Amino acid sequence: MPAEQQLAGVSDLFVVAAVLLYLAAMIGFALELAFGRSSAEAPAVRARQPVGVGSSGGPVDAAAEPGGGPVAVEPPHWAPKAGWLAMAFGWLGWTANLFAIVTRGLAVDRWPWGNMYEFVVAICFAAVTAFLGTQLRQNVRFLGAFVMVTAALGLGFAVKVLYTAAGPVVPALNSYWVAIHVTAAILASGLFVLGGVSGILYLIRGDGPSRLPSRADLERVAHRAIVFAFPVWTFAVIAGALWADRAWGRYWGWDPKEVWAFITWVAYAAYLHARVTAGWRGRAATIVQLVAFGCLLFNLVGVNMFISGLHSYSGL
């Protein structure tokens, strides 16, 4: 028992370390964004594409690429370094977050997502993973500051509000379905967070030139994240139904958690339709996406805290 408690303590320390490292990364990314070359000048993702696919693509945001904007100021020499340092802090934070999850799992000797605290820690990890993973394939550093602050806030919220001491879960949660259903939900949620952060930036940013990344870039990151997340979320819901069929005697019973998983799913489906509907592309689709993201968050926080249901035993 003491060894396990020690491990649980180590896990808590790693969570704190992850918060600090994410904050450090956030500062680095923010400095780079504020003082580095602005996205209008920097050859961002789209530069890898010879010509925009004007015929059908998302909003090809010509206004975001100012032809002769004020680009005369030479960025300070340390600005790119801040960016690289931020990436390093981001990866370190990611590692600390991973260790926090692994040690927690070893301490409790089960999958470390049995209650809301563990679940939120894992979602933050998934969101950062989604960001860093995307970064490996294309340059999305412009999102770094916002993803990092989201992850730090998420972990802080988990520690301050949701903290649950390491321990066993109720028998119903002792099933291999935890590994399947909850893991899929975490993965999808992490990607949806990436989409949500991009969506919020899209709305904050005007059409004109700005330090913030171009709308087209934000749109594309959000769309790709959601396109990847949606089937995973679909799978998570179905796996949940399969588990409910084993545990509760029906595969679908309109329990509040199920209702909101369904609402979230329909809302993201609406986003995918909005993107191919004339007059809905761009801003309107982004708003739909953020409504869907709101439903996801409400399901995570609101349903667990304010509405009682079969899922309530996941504990706060």
Partner 1 sequence: MTVDELEKEQQRPAGMGPVGWLRWTWRTLTAMKTALILLFLFALASVPGSLVPQRSVEPDKVAQLFQNNPTLAEWYDRFQLFDVFTSAWFAAIYLLLFTSLIGCVLPRTATYVRELRRRPPAAPRNLSRLPYFSRLDDPLTVEEAARRLRRLRFRVDVGDGWVAAEKGYLRETGNLLFHVSLLGLLVAVGFGSLYGYRGNVLVAEGDGFANTVAAYDRFIPGTQVSAESLEPFSFTLKDFQASYQVEGDKRGQELDYSAFLSVNDSPGSPARDYTLKVNEPLEINGTQTYLIGHGYAPVFKVTDGKGQVAFEGPVPCLIEDKPSLTSGCVVKVPDAQPSQLGFLLRFLPTSDGAGASLFPGALNPQVQLLGAFSGDLGVRSGRPQSVYELAPPEVMRKLTPLVMGTGHAPLAVGGSLELPKGAGKLEFTGAKEWITLQITYDPGRLPALIAAAAAVAGIVCSLTIRRRRVWVRVKDGVAEVGGLTRTEGSAAGFTEEFADIVKVLSAGGKDAR
- CB closer to ligand HEM out of 115 and 264: 264
Instruction: Give CA 251 to chain center in angstroms.
Output: 28
Residue in 10, 20, 27, 272 binding ligand HEM, rule: CB under 6 A: 272
φ, ψ at 213 (rounded to 5°): -60, 160
Residue burial 291-314, b: 16+ Cβ < 10 Å; e: rest: bbbebbebbbeebbeebebebeeb
Which residues in this chain contact partner 1 in the complex, by CB under 8 A? Answer: 1, 45, 48-58, 138, 165, 167-168, 170-172, 174-175, 177, 220, 223-224, 227-228, 230-231, 234-235, 238, 241-243, 245-256, 259-260, 262-263, 266-267, 269-270, 273-280, 295, 303, 307, 309
Contact partners, residue 221, CB within 8 Å, separation at least 6: 134, 140, 143, 194, 195, 198
| Site string (214-253) toward ligand HEM, x via CB under 6 A | ----------------------------------------
Place of tokens 């999958």: 111
User: Does the footprint of ligand HEM cover residue 53 (CB under 6 A)?
Assistant: no
d(CA 158, CA 265): 25
C-beta closer to partner 1: residue 71 or 305: 305
How near is the Cβ of 272 to ligand HEM at its closest, in Å? 4
Minimum CB separation from partner 1 for residue 228, in Å?
Answer: 8
Q: How many CA within 13 A on the CB side of residue 242?
A: 14
Cα atoms in the 13 Å half-sphere on the side-chain side of 61 = 24
Going by the DSSP 8-state scheme, the letter that residue 140 receives in this structure is -
CB of 71 to partner 1, least distance (A): 26
Instruction: Name the one range near ligand HEM by CB under 6 A: 66-74, 108-116, 157-165, 268-276.
Output: 268-276
Q: Which residues bind ligand HEM (CB under 6 A)?
A: 269, 272-273, 276
